[in-house]
Every structure is written in C-alpha cells, then in structure tokens.
Amino acid sequence: MRGLRADTHAVRGATADEKLTQRRKERKGQVSSAARLSVLASLRETGAGIFRAGAYNMRNETSDKAGVPDAMPAGTSDSLLYKPDQDLAKVRERYAAFWQGELVDRVCLSITAPRERPIPEPEAESDEQAHTDPAFVVRRWNARFANTYYGGEALPMAWVPGQLLYAAYGGRASFASGTVWVDPTLTDGQQWADYRFDPANPFIGHTLRITRALAEDAPGKYLVGSSGIFGPMDAMAMLRGMCDFLMELALPEVEVPLRQAHRQCIEGFRHISEAVYRAAGSNGGWFVNHPGLWAPGRINNWSADFIYNIGPRQFERWVLPEMQVLARMLEYNMYHLDGFRAVVHLPMMLAIPELQGIQFTPGYGHTTAEALPVYKQIQRGGKVQWIDCAPDEVEFVLRELDPRGLLIFTQAPDIERNFCATRDQIAFRLEISCF
C-alpha cells in the first residue's frame, strides 16, 4: 500500500442529481464553448511571461457565487516568490467555488512545468536524512519550487515527505530505497486489545518539526500544509499484516479488540491531522493539502486502499463508519479512491452526505478515457473531484465532464514548446482564435 498523495461546507445533498441535470439543460449548447474557453484562459495564464494575450472577461454573470470570497483575507500576501505576477485572489475565488461544486468563470486548472534552466536539487546523505532532517527538506522544497513553473491554480505548496507518516501508528520502521518501510508488530488478533495510539511516536515528532521549519521559511515564498494522512484501517493492516488483518475482520472472536483498536487509530488520526495544521498555520484562514488542494478550512485527505481486498458487506461493517467519522473531522474533505477494484464500494461512499470530494485514481496502465465512467458517477453523486491528466487530455475531460466542482491537474514536460503547443492544439481543435 502507499500513503496519500485527503462541520461540512456546501454539500450539495440528496438533490444533486436533479441539480446537475437541470444545470446541463440550462447550459445545453453553451457549456462546451464556455468550458473550452475556460481551459484556453487557463493555458494563457500558464504562459504568462512566455506568451501574452489581450485580457477579456469570461465571467459567467449568472453563476451563484454565494460564499465565494471576493478578495484575499487580511494578512495574506497577494503574491508569492515562486508564483510571481499571478492573481492569487482570483485563484482563491476559483478554489472556493470548486469546493462548493460551482464555477466562477472557468474550471479550476492546475498546470506545472519544469523551468528551462533548473538548479541542482540537494542530495541527501541517506534515506533517513531525506525524510527527517528539517533543514534538508526545506532546501529541497526551495529547489523544487525554483525549478517549477506554476500556472493557473497551481501553487507552490510544501509538506513533509508523505511516507514519514506510514509509521505514525506504530510498527517496526526502517528507511530504505527512498521511502519508509513498516513491518508488522502484532502477531495475534487478541493483541489488538492492548493497542494504544502513542502521540509521542517519533515519526509524528519528525513530521511536526519539519512542518514548523517549512512554516518558518515559507512566508512570501510558498504555502505549507499537510501531506494527507494514512487512513486508520490502512494503518491497522500495516500493523498486523494484510492477510491476517483481512481474515480477522471476519472473525467474531476478534471483533471487540479490533474495534477498540480501530477507535484508538481514529483518535490518532484526529491527533495527527490537528497537530500538523497547527504546526503549518494558515494563510489568512486558508489551508493546504497534497497534491495541491487549497481551501478556506482544514482539509482531510485520506485513503483506505485495502478496500480493494474486501466485499461490500465488510466495507459496510468496517469502513463506512470510519468514513462517516473522518468526513466530519475537519472543515473540508477529499477521499482517495484507488483502483477499479475499489469502485464496487463507490455507491456507499456517494451516499455519505458529509463526504464532499472523491478523487479516483484508475491505476497504472489505465487511461483517462477508461476512468471516465467513474468520474461521471462521482459527479452524478454530487461530489467534487480532482483529476490528473496529460495536457492533451484536458479538452477531452472538459468535453465529457461538468466543469463545476472539477479540479484538473496536469504537468507539461516543457514550458514554451509544450504549453504553447497545447494551447495552439486546443485552440485549433475547437476552432477558437482568441490568442
């Protein structure tokens, strides 16, 4: 398994299907051109300083902007060293609309690309230093930011190495092959009765020290937040070993100690989430989470990757209650759904009113087109989502999906050639000459 790349606000509720259907009817014959113009505007933004175009107003004056801030809150910089000459107030406005499942003027589109003349990134002397040395992590993030172009809603955001929290719940941890390995420490199901989450876990300490170091270095340069947190049941599978853990989920004699340990892990999850955000601070009341989420409240971004190994009955007994609790834990939330085998559980997830967002990753070897039915199912369920796709897939995604409540991440391998080529290619395909 791998880690995360995680009061509810503006959940669209039980009438989401009807609302979405009505929106599509109202926008029939207009959504395609509006959506396409939106991506072109994003691509133009991304090329600021490389290619220029005359300003034009694409705002949809009829869109409902209730609750979307019109300006940056007091105390927040309107520019960042690693994202110069960009309108952060407008970025905030679009993110706020995204979380509400709405649209300000265009889809949220985060585009990054490498700079032409990168500076060398620091090299760690060991895997342990790469994960636990605050000064090294700060230097590495600054080098990565300097080497990256941030366009559209892309923002320079930093967090601790996500693998560091693999061991936050216990287990025998070691550093090797560029990550953190955790071996099981429980050898019998009855040992769950003795499990206690330890807030003094050294890996939580490493996480908080690095987060504070980043927060001290960040003002005026970049934003700091959470890497997302390994879900409680994923952590339990790691502590016991996957096969034994899956078997014990079905054993009545283990249920009581297992549920007791599960409650401990959920409270541990709460402790880590709140502690990381306290260490990171906020930028005018806005918070950051992997892989580039920004919200006017703390974001809970988590996974339960082990669910591809269980059926609907076990999901309903064990995972559904966990998701209901975690969705209410912080102000905003996004669940990471990993792989097609886990999609069987999606209907139950969509029925959780507190769950705001679901991010589906189809898995290695699968295409955006293959994942499209799942993306559409998530939208029909009234949840926001972010999608990672190639630059030449952005137009396809916008043709097929409602841009409301949609955040698209894309990475180009080259700024000038790829950004301009992508821009021109999309403009040509759509027969739009607004550049």
Residue 146 is assigned to a structural domain of this protein: yes
Is 225 a member of any domain? yes
Domains: count for the chain? 1
Q: What is the DSSP letter of 188?
A: S
How many CB atoms sit inside 10 A of residue 314's CB?
Answer: 16
Asked whether residue 378 is assigned to any structural domain, the reply reads yes
- Answer whether residue 48 is part of any domain: yes
> What per-residue confidence (pLDDT) applies to 285?
82
pLDDT at 352: 98
Residue 338, φ and ψ in degrees, nearest 5: -110, 110
Query: How many CA atoms are closer than 13 Å to the CA of 282, on its beta-carbon side?
Result: 17
Neighbours of 279 (CB within 10 A): 20
- Which pair of tokens denotes residue 394? 């952005």
Residue 61 lies in a domain: yes
Put the strands of the sheet holding 385-388 in their side by side order: 148-152, 108-114, 406-411, 385-388
State the sign of the Cα–Cα–Cα–Cα dihedral 413, 417, 423, 425. negative
Predicted pLDDT of residue 416: 59
User: Residue 429's CB: how many other CB atoms inside 10 A?
Assistant: 12
Q: Cα–Cα distance between 173 and 163 in angstroms, integer?
A: 11
Classify residue 5: in a domain, yes or no: no
Quote the distance between the C-alpha of residue 423 and its chain's center.
25
pTM of the model: 0.80
Q: In this predicted structure, what is the pLDDT of residue 413? A: 84
What letter does residue 415 receive in the DSSP assignment? Answer: I
Is residue 435 in some structural domain? no
CA distance 111 to 46: 7
Q: Identify the CATH number of the domain in which residue 102 sits.
A: 3.20.20.210
Distance separating alpha carbons of residues 350 and 34, to the nearest angstrom: 28
Query: Does 6 reside within a domain?
Result: no
Report strand pairing: 287-289 vs 293-295.
Answer: antiparallel
Peptide linkage before 291 cis (omega within 30 of 0) = yes
Structure tokens at 327: 């969705």
Coil, strand or helix: which one is 103? coil
What is the Cα–Cα distance from 434 to 36, expressed in whole angstroms?
Answer: 11
- Nearest alpha-carbon partner for 158 in 146, 166, 173: 146
- In 34-163, which ranges are E strands? 108-114, 148-152, 157-158
Q: Averaged in consecutive runs of 10 residues, what is the pLDDT profile of the chain (435 residues)? A: 32 37 41 47 42 24 31 50 87 96 93 92 96 97 96 95 90 93 95 97 97 96 92 95 96 96 97 96 87 95 94 96 97 96 97 98 93 98 96 93 96 69 44 29
d(CA 370, CA 392): 16
Domain range for 218 is 13-430
Q: Please enumerate in sequence order all residues whose Cβ is within 8 A of that of 95, keeping only pairs 6 or more positions apart, or say none.
A: 108, 153, 294, 295
